[in-house]
Amino acid sequence: MAGQGIVQETLNMSQLPGFTTGGTLHVVVNNQIGFTTSPDESRSSLYATGIAQMLQIPIFHVNGEDPEAVAQVVRLAMDFRKTFHRDVVIDMYAYRRYGHNEGDEPAFTHPEMYESIRQRKSVRDGYLDHLLSLEGMTREEADEIGTQRRDRLDSALTLARSPKYVHRVDVLTARWRHIQFGNDAEVAEVETKLEPERLRRLLEGLAEVPDGFEPHPKLNRFLDARRAMAAGERPLDWAAAEALAFGSLAEAGHPVRFTGQDTPRGTFSHRHAVLHDQRDGKPYCGLQHVSKDQARVEIYNSPLSEAGVLGFEYGYSTESPEGLVIWEAQFGDFGNCAQVIIDQFIASGEDKWQQHSGVVMLLPHGFEGQGPEHSSARPERFLQLCAEENMQVVVPSTPAQYFHLLRRQALRPWRKPLVVMTPKSLLRLPVAVSPLEDFTTGGFARILADDVADDDVRRIVLCTGKVYYDLAAHREERGLRDVAILRIEQLYPLTPESVNAALARYPDGTPVVWVQEEPDNMGAWGFLLRTLGPRLERGMTFSGITREASASPATGSHSMHRSEQKDLVTAACSDQLPEMFIKEAAEGERK
């Protein structure tokens, strides 16, 4: 990888079946200057490889102008790796003859260095002079080799521009041929429900452990709960819904890959997809044993290096259209550290390069008084990136919705990155569960209708995610059957027509308010104002109820959070909206 002090690592073959060599060859193509930054400005060590000294491994420094020395060092490094099964580093000291690119003028900032470079011959010419001095080659022979090499490059360029090359690309992307692209509305939905007996069988299987396996005593209740869910004796929670989605997909031949910090157990100690024997620590993943001929299920912990991990999973997803590839943030806020992958690849890869991906991002989101760093997955940032149906942003509010959503992502022949605002407190909220019937009927609903309020209501509340349960509890406490609460489960793609259809059952002119936990300058409010503001039908007004605009996502005081949440929920169901909460969708703003 070109650039001063940049390390490029080859694949660690020891991690692949059948390879036991061990060790990785690290190569630094040391151009000395990173754009205009000199070594003394970019590091505190003498060498770019100084950091590798802590590993007690060989570090070879070689002159990039000496091809024979470079070849010798590579052979030596590979021999060392093969013999001692250890890493080895090569620091190839070189330079950019033309600076950062052919149009650059490096002498602006490094006049002495580039005056010396201008006086030097190219690597080819310098090495040719050496060969000629040994009388092992004539200049004519060297020129012939150069002509042959240029001809090969020209032929490759001609091929790349020909229809034959396009055909070769089609062969390489054959696995994507059954996948549709384009507009969401042009692709039919797919059936995601499962037969009751299959669900029960999967749940029962996921509650079993091998003979002699001893799980942690506290997890026996977890396994007993799974058995009760299978028997229809208790509703399903989020972890069970997720496990059913994974298990059913793997059983049907769809690989599942799932990585993230604390992912096997779950950051909130709710998932326990991998159990550990309490005597010897050996792991057991029930999802890898749902059937004899199932697809692979891979669930791994990963370091808190979000950009690196999400970048790898994005790349993996581009080669796995038939599977479900998921990265989970420990908290949704930590997606900040992967923003470069989100901006440069996930949001825009298809538009820039026709690079398709169905990668899934699970981002725990919800305001529970945990402070500014553990509340918001920044849905506003994803919604700002949404255009041309480049990805999906979803906030499921029930386990069944989550189940159908994950299955839809793998089964529907339409691949777009999926961003899911997943729950935290809802993982254990008694009312945030789903009966078994919700998994055997229906499918993912983009908007969930209200089944409590009367049709003749005085107010319609639109919301998404966790705040629904706070609103529903407040409505129930006060017996407000004249307030309807609708959940927008899929924020993007979202059409005004679908929202107006969901509102059709209510009287003309009924005021509609959007309620969110996030401050006014965050969350989905700005996006919905642009999307729906001018288009509500039948004289329905549209306004928003939010926290005050803020530089910080949330307060650090739990008591202040509770006070704000109470005022927010009360305002949502009241005719007298406090001025601090209501955000009018003025006609000028909407346009």
Burial class of residue 233, CB neighbours in 10 A (0-12, 13-18, 19+):
exposed
Q: Do the beta carbons of residue 119 and residue 56 sit within 8 Å?
A: no
pLDDT-derived band of residue 4, with 50, 70 and 90 as boundaries? very low
- For the segment 452-466, the average pLDDT, to the nearest whole number, is 94
Predicted pLDDT of residue 35: 86
Report the SS3 class of residue 302.
coil
Two tokens, residue 28: 């630094």
State the angle between helix axes of 123-133 and 139-160 in degrees (0 to 180), rounded to the nearest 10. Answer: 150
Report the SS3 class of residue 148.
helix
Prediction pTM value = 0.85
pLDDT digits (tens, 9 = 90+) for 93-126: 999 998 888 888 999 999 999 999 999 999 999 9
Q: Percent of the chain scored above 90 by pLDDT?
A: 83
37 pLDDT exceeds 60? yes
pLDDT digits (tens, 9 = 90+) for 349-386: 999 998 999 999 999 999 999 999 999 999 999 999 99
The DSSP result for 16-77, as a single string, is STT------EEEEEE-S-BTTB-HHHH-SSSSTTGGGGGG---EEEEETT-HHHHHHHHHHH
Question: Which of 9-13, 84-88, 420-424 shows the lowest per-residue confidence on average (mean pLDDT)?
Answer: 9-13
Position of tokens 């489960």?
489
Two tokens, residue 424: 């935290």
Predicted pLDDT of residue 583: 56
- For the segment 457-462, the average pLDDT, to the nearest whole number, is 95
Residue 501 belongs to what H/E stretch?
Answer: helix 496-503
Predicted pLDDT of residue 176: 85
pLDDT digits (tens, 9 = 90+) for 134-158: 998 899 999 999 999 999 999 999 9
The phi and psi torsions of 236 (rounded to 5 degrees) equal -90, 140
Predicted pLDDT of residue 576: 59
Position of tokens 């012939």?
144
The phi and psi torsions of 287 (rounded to 5 degrees) equal -65, -15
β strands within 52-197, DSSP E: 59-63, 88-93
Domains delineated in the chain: 8-137 (3.40.50.970), 235-440 (3.40.50.12470), 448-590 (3.40.50.11610)
Q: Do the beta carbons of residue 549 and residue 577 sit within 8 Å?
A: no
Task: Name the β-bridge partners of 90.
Answer: 27, 60
Predicted pLDDT of residue 160: 85
CB-CB neighbours of 101 under 10 Å: 8
- Distance between CA 484 and CA 475 in Å, rounded? 9
HSE-CB at 112 with a 13 A cutoff on CA atoms is 1
HSE-CB at 563 with a 13 A cutoff on CA atoms is 6
Predicted pLDDT of residue 354: 87
Report the SS3 class of residue 378.
coil
426 pLDDT exceeds 80? yes
Q: Kind of pairing, strands 283-284 and 275-276?
A: antiparallel
Predicted pLDDT of residue 34: 86
Predicted pLDDT of residue 22: 79
Q: Which of 288, 261, 255 is nearest to 273 (CA)?
A: 288
pLDDT digits (tens, 9 = 90+) for 76-102: 999 999 999 999 999 999 999 988 888
Predicted pLDDT of residue 589: 41
Predicted pLDDT of residue 518: 97
16 pLDDT exceeds 80? no
Predicted pLDDT of residue 184: 94
pLDDT digits (tens, 9 = 90+) for 185-199: 999 999 999 999 999
- Distance between CA 564 and CA 567 in Å, rounded? 5
Query: What are the distances in angstroms from CA 553 to CA 34, 373, 548, 568?
Result: 36, 8, 11, 16
19 pLDDT exceeds 80? no
Burial class of residue 202, CB neighbours in 10 A (0-12, 13-18, 19+):
buried
